[in-house]
Structure 1
């Protein structure tokens, strides 16, 4: 998979103000946030360090560089960020094997977006090698575009990944609905100017102007997403 498409995708043909749907991956579409923590615990255990459970909410859901850097600093482990990144990616890939569990409602939502040909992007802080593995479960044909954390100069919580996705799809950020599960991802989407649906998986995310919080993807469908965007946005 690549992070670009040959030409902008046309906005939805039904006249809706919604131009694109941009979705996070880990914890939003696939139930893998716990897998990342398991990988971190295992790798640091082999390095002779025990991770404090209270660190889980700090490292899960953030970009690899931030999470790995925090753990190195907190444990004093004798390993470089680059070395640790390789080990964590390898351990995570081994953990997910060939299939990963989808979050409740993810299969139905992705099928509906594809059926209506809504321009859809997967926007993740995970690295390309991990995204391509997870796409075997999600179905790569369901996305017009995928953006990986190691393909942008600044990943979440910076707006860069969402701005890139919107621009490549030929959509205006205020006309994009973003579905995220962590405060880091929500911050990135809101900084890009997108409308956000938060489905919290780690920690609380309060409702706010331009942000809707739901309990599950079971509460989200195309009509729900279209209702978030008005012609005046």
Structure 2
């Protein structure tokens, strides 16, 4: 699940107070939020139901159990959450095997963080099978740690994923920069006490005190992330 993790005390990057960068996956590093909606739409069409466009903002960025439960309740489909979870993961992975487009700026950011030795974690609400498939395109060598949604009792919007990632890297959550694309993910990271950069994908994210909102990852680099931690401290 992980590669080697730097020991505590080796985390501070080039004298800055930034200790780690924690990155969401779907919609943040890879342009796959549309893949999920297509998989959900296809699955429910096979069950005899059409999904409404306004439901897309409800399910984006959340744990599979929440999204599946909402869509079952909204449509009245005759399927359990567990059955639907298996079906959606399978349909999603089918799409991943055709190729995964990275978000603009994602490869450059990962390369820069790696080149400067900044401990970087992938923190996703997607299941491990999906994360591992995505890492084929993303490059697992860029991450000291990867954490999947089905590996914790509580995933986003709870703070557990980001608290766990920071702890496993030996980092102070307040000195971790998080990049997220959904309200669910931002809520999780802020509850963990991290400094958050929001890059909205499907649904808008409001700008509030202590949160930075940008239009694209192309606006995010190492100096930018360091500055967030330095301003906060």
* 2: CA distance, partners of 1:228 / 1:51: 39
Tell me, what secondary structure is at the counterpart of 1:230?
helix
Residue matched to 1:140? 140
| 1:157-176 paired onto structure 2 within 5 Å | 157-176=157-176
Residue matched to 1:178? 178
Residue matched to 1:35? 35
2:43/2:88 contact within 8 Å kept = yes
Would the alpha carbon gap of residues 88 and 232 (structure 1) be closer, same or farther in structure 2, given more than 3 Å must change? closer
* 2: CA distance, partners of 1:108 / 1:13: 18
| 1:1-233 paired onto structure 2 within 5 Å | 1-2=1-2, 8=7, 10-97=10-97, 99-230=99-230, 233=233
**Partner deviation per Cα, 1:128-173 (whole Å, 9 max, x = no partner):** 0000000011100000000000001100000000000000001000
Tell me, what secondary structure is at the counterpart of 1:55?
helix
Task: After TM superposition, give the deviation of residue 210 of structure 1 in Å.
Answer: 1.6
Gap runs ≥5 in structure 2: none
* 2: CA distance, partners of 1:231 / 1:53: 39
2:28/2:103 contact within 8 Å kept = yes
Gap runs ≥5 in structure 1: none
* 2: CA distance, partners of 1:79 / 1:168: 37
Task: After TM superposition, give the deviation of residue 203 of structure 1 in Å.
Answer: 1.5
* 2: CA distance, partners of 1:161 / 1:202: 22
1:98/1:133 contact within 8 Å kept = no
Task: After TM superposition, give the deviation of residue 8 of structure 1 in Å.
Answer: 3.6
Would the alpha carbon gap of residues 43 and 96 (structure 1) be closer, same or farther in structure 2, given more than 3 Å must change? same
In the superposition, the TM-score normalised over structure 2's length comes to 0.96
* 1: CA distance, partners of 2:160 / 2:199: 21
Count residues in correspondence: 232
Q: CA RMSD in A?
A: 1.4
Task: After TM superposition, give the deviation of residue 54 of structure 1 in Å.
Answer: 1.0
Task: After TM superposition, give the deviation of residue 96 of structure 1 in Å.
Answer: 1.4
1:179/1:198 contact within 8 Å kept = yes
Would the alpha carbon gap of residues 200 and 20 (structure 1) be closer, same or farther in structure 2, given more than 3 Å must change? same
Task: After TM superposition, give the deviation of residue 13 of structure 1 in Å.
Answer: 4.2
* 1: CA distance, partners of 2:7 / 2:24: 20
Task: After TM superposition, give the deviation of residue 61 of structure 1 in Å.
Answer: 1.6
**Partner deviation per Cα, 1:45-79 (whole Å, 9 max, x = no partner):** 00111111111111122111110000000111111
Task: After TM superposition, give the deviation of residue 21 of structure 1 in Å.
Answer: 0.2
Task: After TM superposition, give the deviation of residue 5 of structure 1 in Å.
Answer: 5.5
Would the alpha carbon gap of residues 115 and 151 (structure 1) be closer, same or farther in structure 2, given more than 3 Å must change? same
In the superposition, the TM-score normalised over structure 1's length comes to 0.96
Tell me, what secondary structure is at the counterpart of 2:230?
coil
